[in-house]
Amino acid sequence: MTRVGLVVHGQPPELVGGTERLVADLARDLHAAGHVVEVFTGSIEWRPAFEVVRVPGPVPLVRVHRHDLFFERWDKVENPLVERAFVAWLDEFRPELVHVHHWARLTTTLVRTARAQGVPVVLSLHDLFSSCPRYHRVKADLSFCDVPPSPQACRHCAPRWRFQGDAEIDGSVLAFAGDLRAEVAAADAVVAPTAGHAARLFDWLGTSRPVVALPPASETRLQPASRPLGDRAATPQQPLRVGTAGHLHQLKGVEVLLDAQAALPDPSLVELHVWGAAPVPEQDAALRARAAGRRVVWHGAYKPADLSGAPIDVAVVPTLCAESYSFALDEACALGVPVLATDLGALHDRATARVGLFPRGDARALAGQLARLASDPAERRRVAGGAAPPRLTGAEHLRTLLATYAEVLARPRPAQPDAGVRAARAEALERRARLFGLREAGLQELLRSEGWEDVVARLQAENAALRQR
């Protein structure tokens, strides 16, 4: 039995993204295996005063609610109040090992703080956050950034308020990149969904170290797609039905698929099936306008099980992000049809004979591949019969992770700080907390000129309405 602390930026039911669900499942599985587990988690819910809430259960949650405004911005992640709460939790729970999964909504000092308290740390790199103030390395113009973070690279790309000058942005970029580079270097072991994802991050961070390539558990089982076109070539009366599924955020690239349909010599040869919901009504309206009366079926919000037996002949994963793993790829491959995917990130790393790649954002290249599959039933059969990317079961994922934990725990533990060192660190942390309070007070006055009171009031009203629903 091991005392394991899991650290993550959010947990269900409040937040249900891929990383949040992975950590919730891991906590459940570790508890079921006899380990003592607690989760130290962030929250998206702003509160007027900094607050730490303990949620009891088989796996207790210690949830941090920040009180500083717009705390999800890249230049506000580091927070000495969260660090102080984290130290208090380490002292109370006394984990033998901490597994850090994310810094967002918490602070960029988690790994170093745990090790300074004498606790070894496993760090999982789930996404590109550690290398980019924009989180995804996608610029405002939707181009992809492939250079290390620096003032020169980030000065005119990192989000800023109108009152922030270049000097402040440059200093914040150096602090952000330096903190996260130091966090990656300090971890006792680093885990990533693919070796390629880790290699890209290490290159951007200017570091190199061993990595445990450990894909997340992916056990979705779906009935094969119905393939309504069968072994016929597509015609306007019997089109190639092409499906895509996922959150309809602009970064997920459904616009690329819509534009590919429009770029076909005869768009009526392809009927698109889109599963997913747009984040705001305005974007939903823009997507429907972009379809411009062509053959598109909008299925709306979905669960993976809703894709079973989908009425499609081909699946497309058109994301503009460098995905670190892609459950969407697994779901597409589980349907037993040819898959076309962006040639970037883990989609490139995991591509097999089932998965054809096209250049990121290149609607014309995608249109060419769709036209070929529409006209060539034999090619569709050949690609559909190719091997799908391998996946791990939950048991396999847990077994590899427990072996990593055991290897880290077998090493000498980080030195425990003595009373004098702890007192000096606590004093330094209090000084940072006071400076943070002064900076926040100044920021609030500056934001007042941006009309932030109205923004905060609107967000609070939306939160209240969501809680009531």
Mean pLDDT per 10-residue segment, the chain (469 residues): 94 90 95 97 94 96 94 93 97 97 97 97 97 94 95 95 92 96 97 96 94 93 95 97 94 97 97 94 94 94 94 98 94 97 96 97 98 97 96 94 97 88 88 88 81 72 71
pTM assigned to the model: 0.91
Q: How many CB atoms lie within 10 A of CB 70?
A: 17
CA distances to 124, 214, 338 from 379, rounded to whole Å, are 39, 33, 9
CA angle in degrees (0–180, nearest 5) for 333-20-53: 165
Q: What is the pLDDT of residues 250-280, one digit of tens each?
A: 999 999 999 999 999 999 999 999 999 998 8
Strands (E), 394-437: none
Q: How many CB atoms lie within 10 A of CB 433?
A: 15
Whole-angstrom Cα distance, residue 71 to residue 74?
8
Whole-angstrom Cα distance, residue 106 to residue 7?
9
Structure-token pair, residue 419:
């009373």
Whole-angstrom Cα distance, residue 64 to residue 234?
55
Query: Which residue in the block uniquely carries the two structure tokens 């130091």?
Result: 182
* DSSP string covering 55-116: E-SSS-EEEEE--STTTTSGGG---HHHHHHHHHHHHHH--SEEEE---TTS-TTHHHHHHH
Whole-angstrom Cα distance, residue 198 to residue 206?
12
Domains (ranges, CATH) in the chain?
3-217+396-418 (3.40.50.2000), 240-384 (3.40.50.2000)
Query: CA 312, 17, 221, 342: dihedral to nearest 10 degrees?
Result: 50
- Name the residue type at position 266: D
- Taking the alpha carbons at both ends of the chain, their separation in whole angstroms is 41
Q: What is the pLDDT of residues 434-450, one digit of tens each?
A: 888 888 888 888 877 77
Whole-angstrom Cα distance, residue 243 to residue 28?
33
